[in-house]
Amino acid sequence: MQVDGKHYRSIWFDDDSATVRIIDQRWLPHRFLIVELTSRKSFCDAIRDMWVRGAPLIGAAAAYGVAAEMQNDASDSALDEVCNELQQTRPTAVNLVWALNHMRQLLQGLPEQQRAAIAMKRAHEICDEDVECNRQIGLNGLQIIKNIAENKDVGQPVNILTHCNAGWLATVDWGTATSPIYHAAQADIRVHVWVDETRPRNQGAQLTAWEMDSHGISHQLIVDNAGGHLMQHGDVDLVIVGTDRTAANGDVCNKIGTYLKALAAKDNEIPFYVALPSPTIDWNITNGIAEIPIEERDGQEVTHVWGKLEDGNLASVQISPDGTAAGNPAFDVTPGRLVTGLITERGVAPATSEGLAAMFPKFSG
């Protein structure tokens, strides 16, 4: 998408330097920094410490991490080691495991001298496929927004609430939850986005608000606790969120706080949709609540807040008493029964085993 009038993806291969580049998301929205990833360690650090984040982007970065390793050492042991190390970085987003399994299966049957070129080509393709999936998700989600717009008074916007950042920065381009929003704006449908700040790391405040602003999409930042109130007062027409892993039974794992939004949406009879590319479906898990591993992150993300000071410098400040112990589960699981539909690249599926199996018969076994 656009940054100051220039098109960027969140990750790309730079032909001149022959390196993978990313937008280092730790500094947004206050600094726009591009960094090169070259070593195995740099790819692992970038995923673990959230220079890149968001399930589809984590998968793309992992594919490039394997490809970069193959340029240095294409042996079986290097392939095993890089896949194992990358897999340890973040446990919840299944796109990471998907990309690593995919690369491993592709490469292990090949002669070593062919691995580097084929791995890099496949990593590029994984990125392009993600972009195309998200474009299709946008077109499928556009129909939902269009239907709601048709039932609104003339000139009234469709009010969409979103949680965390499932925008282009969380994918290679377009985003998942935001792709229908961009497509609606392109179709001249008036939309207004309620952006949940998404504590503790504030991906909504820092990333989604920045994305919306860059594209001139009407939006307001709200604290995470405001959504239920807005829904009760008719100020939300639709919720669209992303997901880090959706179980084969339609249970949706996403950023912590998503479940509470789904409960409030159900109570207020507001449609609650989840937008996802098919690599985010975990066909091996049939009970999302019981089986999806939930990442527990450092308590400092809860006790501290990062931002810009009045003098323009960036700083982290402590908001709790010295020594306060914090719990920091990074994700929660929304049962499929609270989800109106899953917006995929193939269409909108019911959030049930049957619904997903009918949409993706080849994968569902």
Binding site for ligand MRU (CB under 6 A): 53-56, 93, 164, 166, 170-171, 176, 203, 242-244, 254-255, 330
Q: Please tell me which residue in 24, 237, 244, 251 is annotated as part of the active site.
A: 244
Query: What is the length of the chain?
Result: 365
Closest CB to ligand MRU among 140 and 243?
A: 243
**Angle between helices 55-72 and 76-87 in degrees, nearest 10:** 150
From the CB of 245, what's the least distance to ligand MRU, in Å? 9
Closest CB to ligand MRU among 42 and 89?
A: 89
C-alpha atoms less than 13 angstroms from C-alpha of 121 in its C-beta half-sphere: 7
Q: Which two tokens stand for residue 204?
A: 């909504």
From the CB of 157, what's the least distance to ligand MRU, in Å? 23
| Beta-sheet strands, E only, within 288-336 | 304-308, 314-318, 331-334
In contact, 170 and 57? CB cutoff 8 Å: yes
Instruction: Using alpha carbons, select from 94, 92, 96 the residue that is nearest to residue 297.
Output: 92
Does 244 qualify as catalytic in the annotation?
yes
Closest CB to ligand MRU among 74 and 262?
A: 262
Q: Would you say the C-alpha torsion 279, 283, 286, 292 has a positive or negative sign?
A: negative
In the bound state, the residue with its beta carbon closest to ligand MRU is 242
DSSP state, residue 329: B
Closest CB to ligand MRU among 74 and 341?
A: 341
In contact, 32 and 206? CB cutoff 8 Å: no
Max Cα–Cα distance, the chain, nearest Å: 63
Closest CB to ligand MRU among 166 and 302?
A: 166
**CA distance linking residue 344 with residue 92, whole number of Å:** 19
- List alpha helices for the chain, DSSP H: 40-48, 55-72, 76-87, 94-108, 112-150, 179-186, 203, 209-214, 227-232, 258-267, 288-291, 300-303, 353-359
Closest CB to ligand MRU among 55 and 158?
A: 55
Q: Which two tokens stand for residue 339?
A: 């989800």
According to DSSP, the residues that pair with 161 across neighbouring strands are 194, 239
From the CB of 319, what's the least distance to ligand MRU, in Å? 20
In contact, 58 and 46? CB cutoff 8 Å: no
Place of tokens 């970065």: 61
Catalytic residues: 244
